[in-house]
Structure 1
Amino acid sequence: MSLKIGDIITFERTFTVRDVELFTEVSCDEGEHHITPDEQGRLVIQGLLTATLPTKIGGDANVLARTMNFEFLRPVFTGDTIKCEVEIEEYEWQENKNRTSISTFFICTNQEGIEVLKGSFSGVIL
């Protein structure tokens, strides 16, 4: 993947009940709101499950994360489609360390265009 400053990489995903069940099993985050549906039959997605969207984009670029910052703005529910846009803010070859460093900012919005998560990550490209 060829990247440069200013690039915006997008990934979109619709979360299912099965996603929440699997993440609950792996994370042991068994908050009542993750296992008991609301009056509309939806479960609340774990925040860190929502945060897998920007980490998926970083993983596709072989980023070994050093820092990650998340600001959870609104709940995400099963059935929601979340779009994540990651913008490359810094991308620099470091000759003395023989590696490329990267810094990003991201925003995740639901199907109604409402921001649900924003933050940043930085690291090195493997």
Structure 2
Amino acid sequence: MKVQVGEKITFERTFTIEDVELFTKVSKDEGVHHITPDEQGRFVVQGLLTATLPTKVGGDFNVLARTMNFEFLRPVFSGDTIRCDVMIEQFELDEKNRQAIDTSFSCINQLNKEVLKGSFSGIIL
């Protein structure tokens, strides 16, 4: 895949209760808010599970990440649909003649509220 500086890549996902349960088993993040539903029957999605949205885009482009920065702004609940917009900030050859990439991203819920923002950088394999 080819990317260009200024390009925006979008990925969307709806988190399910099953996603939270599976991530709880894998991560051992068993905070009460992840294993006990609220009064609406929702579970809080683990922050690092939410953070898989921008890493999915990185995976699509075979990015070997060097840095990842996350700022968690609001909780995400099971049933929420989150759109992740990844912006290509820099794409060039590094000092070892490898394709280096720098990005920023913003994740927005179905209520148009930002829930996560950050950046990642690395090289493309």
Q: Decide: shared fold, TM above 0.5.
A: yes
- Tell me what 1:122 maps to: 121
Amino acid in structure 1 at the alignment position of 2:11:
F
**SS of 1:48 mapped into structure 2:** helix
- Tell me what 1:99 maps to: 98
**SS of 1:20 mapped into structure 2:** helix
- Tell me what 2:88 maps to: 88
- Tell me what 2:66 maps to: 66
2:44 is aligned with 1:44:
yes
Q: Distance between the aligned counterparts of 1:12 and 1:51, measured in 2?
A: 12
Q: Distance between the aligned counterparts of 2:15 and 2:43, measured in 1?
A: 10
Q: Is there any run of 5+ residues in structure 1 with no aligned partner, and where?
A: none
Cα displacement string for residues 1-54 of structure 1 (whole angstroms, at most 9, x for unaligned residues): 110100000000000000001100110000000000000100000000000000
Runs of 4+ displaced beyond 3 Å: none
Amino acid in structure 2 at the alignment position of 1:3:
V
Amino acid in structure 2 at the alignment position of 1:80:
D
TM-score, structure 2 normalization = 0.98
- The aligned runs of 1:1-40 (5 Å cut-off) are 1-40=1-40
Amino acid in structure 2 at the alignment position of 1:118:
K
